[in-house]
């Protein structure tokens, strides 16, 4: 007589997929929202430029599809950030909440498309891997618009896959609309257009019957994408230089970067980009713990295995598509010639990297189960080993981001800790004074964003300070510690011999960040 299963066990077996997905999403949420107000520990000027566009332009109804405050930058991401800045004020947390939530949505979308293409187990594995990966978490917690790219790619993969299998016009329309929106996120998304173009060529060779059946739906999808793209196209036609200058400045064709050897530079870039996943990763603390591979050893091996499996099955459209997604979205990094390997420009590959790694794990499990079809202990041992490696992947991801990266002094420098603290100091200390920040242009953006609409101040360079008339009213001068600080101090002491100079240090590692000079 069989013993009855407990109600809990019965419920778990009936809803295992949903419960595991919920668990993965809870993990993803913790990884992206835990200490979001303090990690990353500062605000990079590129992030602050987004915030300045929001408070100085979007909030004043200066709506554009491309903003040029800090080079040409597509605007969709800024509008999403603006919702939270409007609700919470111009804080660092408000600026980063949108990317964190979008990164959680990416986990969902990677699950959905991978499940549709390769099955539920593979979908859950891919979602888990991307949920805990420190490379994706790093990009997902900062304010760079590139972080939205994997979400759009995964959404197009999901909707495009549904359109391919179900052949309903609604999916074609949705896929075209989301594909068009992708061009408003990040310049690198342009490369992704090679995937659907290549897909049509693939179908023309291997599945012409499908093309004959769905050519009207494809035209509708293309028309929707073109309509969505129209405002961007008009902007680029009217002002092509201001809309495309950013990409040209980093290209491998740039003579200032390639040393007169563009082909050699291209091959070197390709090699570094391929090696970043398993060997040597991005050295820039904004994007990565310097030098660490973008995935850990287990995931890296599974990525290679997944690629081998996919290539062995390339005659099936879904495997050809995920291979194309992976290699095509390396091009934004490969085609540049500075800062390689570059984790930020490679972020578009994330939507396929973890699907391929999940394919590798699923293949390994399947082969293991086929090797031991009736040996329950052996089957369980294989599953337990994979579960242990996945748990260690979670631990490694947590420790790399929240311990190693979070406690690295280079991280604080990368996110302009000094200018953030200057902004906060002026905000708290300068209520009844005439406030001056002595710094130049780009580096001051974090302070400018934090002070916008909250505290009045004047930006000065050293020449402006020297020509500034003497005043009798209380004044506060603040400037970052650096090579120029000695000369600034000399000028201030000469103008105001009775002024008070105070150094300010990092609460993290006691590094000298900035000086304040008060005149009563």
| DSSP letter string, 119-188 | -HHHHHHHHHHHHH-HHHHHHHHS--GGGGHHHHHHHHHHHHHHHHHH--HHHHHHHHHHHHHHTTT-GG
Assess whether 133 and 205 both reside in one domain. yes
Under 8 Å between Cβ of 74 and 185 = yes
Q: Are residues 361 and 421 in the same domain?
A: no
Distance of CA 506 to CAs 84, 405, 485, 501, Å? 28, 17, 17, 17
For all residues of the chain together, what is the average pLDDT?
93
> Is 433 found in the same domain as 387?
no
Do 392 and 471 share a structural domain?
A: no
Q: Are residues 137 and 250 both part of a single domain? A: yes
- Domain total in the chain: 2
Q: List, for residues 13-25, the tens digit of each pLDDT value.
A: 778 889 999 999 9
Same structural domain, 302 and 401:
yes
pLDDT given for residue 265 in this prediction = 93
Instruction: Please write down the HEC assignment for all residues of 200-224.
Output: HHHHHHHCHHHHHHHHHHHHHHHHH
In the block, tokens 């594909």 appear at 179
Tell me which of 391, 411, 431 is where a domain ends.
411
Q: Where are the beta strands (DSSP E) in 298-341?
A: none
Element at 114 (helix H, strand E): helix 92-118
pLDDT range class, residue 32, cuts 50, 70, 90: very high
Residue 403 CA, distance from chain mean position = 20
Does residue 16 fall inside a structural domain? no
| Distance from chain centroid for Cα 367 | 35
Same domain for 192 and 52? yes
pLDDT in tens, 344-395: 999 999 999 999 999 999 999 999 999 998 889 999 999 999 999 999 999 9
pLDDT band at 441 (very low <50, low <70, confident <90, very high): confident
DSSP 291: T
Whether 90 shows a pLDDT value over 60: the answer reads: yes
Check pLDDT > 80 for residue 8.
no
pLDDT of 470 over the 60 cut? yes
Q: Is residue 19 a part of any domain in this protein?
A: no
Of the candidates 385, 411, 437, which is a domain's last residue? 411
- Domain interval for residue 491: 416-519
pLDDT at 1: 44
Q: In the prediction, which pLDDT does 242 show?
A: 61
End-to-end Cα distance, the chain: 91
pLDDT band at 418 (very low <50, low <70, confident <90, very high): very high
The answer to whether residues 258 and 349 belong to one domain is yes
Task: Let me know if residue 18 belongs to a domain.
Answer: no
Q: What mean pLDDT do residues 108-117 have?
A: 98
| Residue 202 vs residues 159, 161, 317: alpha-carbon distances, Å | 18, 14, 8
pLDDT at 143: 84
Does the structure show a pLDDT above 70 at 244? Answer: no
Whether 13 is covered by a domain: the verdict is no
For 200, other C-beta atoms within 10 Å of its C-beta total 10
Domain match, 91 and 223 both: yes
Residue 4 has pLDDT above 70, yes or no: no
Which of the residue ranges 129-138, 302-311, 439-448 would you say has the lowest mean pLDDT?
439-448
Which residues, listed in sequence order, are joined to residue 478 by a DSSP beta bridge?
437, 516
Comparing 239-248, 249-258, 441-450, 470-479, the range with the smallest average pLDDT is 239-248
Question: What is the DSSP code (8-state) at residue 469?
Answer: P
CA distances from 226 to 54, 188, 197 (A): 27, 18, 15
Same domain, 261 and 170: yes
Q: Which among 308, 284, 305, 307 has a CA at the least distance from the CA of 294?
A: 284
* Final residue of a structural domain among 364, 390, 411: 411
Same domain flag for 344 and 456:
no
SS3 471: coil
146 within a domain of the structure (yes/no): yes
Q: Is 14 among the domain residues?
A: no
Residue 272 within any structural domain of the chain: yes
Question: What per-residue confidence (pLDDT) applies to 240?
Answer: 78
Percent of the chain with pLDDT over 90: 85
**Residue 280 and residue 198 in one domain:** yes
Question: Using one digit for the tens of pLDDT, what is the confidence trace for 165-208?
Answer: 999 999 999 999 999 999 999 999 999 999 999 999 999 999 99
Please indicate, yes or no, if residue 347 is contained in any of the structural domains: yes
Task: State the sign of the Cα–Cα–Cα–Cα dihedral 333, 339, 345, 350.
Answer: positive
Please write the tens of the pLDDT for every residue from 498-512.
Answer: 999 999 999 999 999
């Amino acid at each position: 007589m069989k013993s009855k299963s407990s109600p809990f066990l019965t419920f778990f077996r009936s809803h295992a997929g949903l419960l595991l997905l919920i668990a993965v999403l809870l993990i993803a949420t913790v990884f992206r929202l835990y200490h979001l107000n303090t990690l990353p520990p500062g605000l990079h000027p590129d992030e602050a430029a987004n915030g300045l566009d929001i408070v100085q332009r979007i909030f004043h109804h200066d709506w554009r599809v491309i903003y040029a405050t800090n080079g040409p930058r597509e605007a969709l991401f800024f509008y999403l950030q603006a919702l939270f800045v409007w609700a919470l004020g111009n804080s660092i947390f408000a600026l980063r909440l949108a990317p964190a939530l979008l990164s959680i949505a990416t986990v969902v979308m990677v699950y959905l498309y991978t499940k549709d293409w390769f099955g539920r187990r593979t979908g859950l594995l891919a979602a888990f891997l991307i949920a805990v990966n420190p490379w994706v978490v790093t990009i997902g917690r900062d304010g760079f618009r590139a972080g939205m790219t994997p979400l759009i790619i995964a959404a197009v993969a999901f909707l495009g896959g549904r359109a391919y299998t179900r052949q309903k016009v609604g999916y074609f329309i949705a896929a075209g609309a989301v594909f068009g929106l992708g061009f408003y996120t990040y310049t690198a998304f342009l490369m992704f257009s090679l995937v659907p173009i290549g897909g049509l060529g693939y179908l023309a060779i291997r599945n012409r019957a499908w093309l004959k059946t769905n050519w009207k739906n494809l035209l509708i999808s293309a028309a929707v994408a073109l309509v969505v793209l129209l405002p961007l196209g008009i902007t680029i036609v009217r002002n092509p230089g201001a809309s495309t200058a950013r990409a040209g400045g980093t290209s491998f064709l740039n003579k200032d970067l390639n040393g007169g050897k563009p082909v050699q530079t291209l091959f070197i870039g390709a090699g570094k980009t391929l090696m970043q996943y398993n060997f040597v990763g991005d050295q820039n603390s904004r994007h990565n713990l310097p030098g660490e591979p973008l995935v850990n050893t287990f995931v890296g091996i599974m990525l290679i295995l997944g690629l081998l499996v996919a290539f062995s099955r390339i005659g099936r459209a879904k495997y050809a598509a995920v291979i194309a997604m992976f290699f095509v979205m390396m091009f934004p990094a490969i085609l540049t010639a500075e800062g390689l390997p570059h984790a930020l420009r490679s972020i578009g590959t994330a939507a396929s990297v973890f699907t391929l790694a999940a394919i590798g794990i699923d293949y390994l499990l399947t082969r293991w189960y086929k090797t031991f079809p009736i040996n329950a202990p052996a089957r369980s041992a294989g599953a337990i080993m994979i579960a242990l490696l996945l748990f260690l992947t979670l631990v490694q991801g947590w420790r790399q981001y929240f311990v190693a990266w979070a406690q690295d002094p280079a991280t604080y420098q990368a996110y302009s800790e000094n200018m953030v603290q200057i902004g906060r100091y002026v905000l708290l200390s300068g209520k009844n004074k005439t406030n001056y920040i002595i710094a130049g242009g780009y580096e001051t953006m974090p302070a400018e964003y934090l002070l916008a609409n909250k505290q009045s101040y004047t930006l000065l360079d050293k020449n402006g300070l020297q020509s500034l008339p003497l005043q009798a009213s209380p004044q506060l001068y603040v400037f970052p510690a650096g090579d120029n600080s000695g000369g600034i101090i000399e000028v201030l002491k000469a103008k105001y011999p009775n002024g008070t100079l105070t150094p300010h240090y990092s609460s993290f590692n006691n590094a000298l960040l900035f000086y304040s000079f008060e005149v009563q």
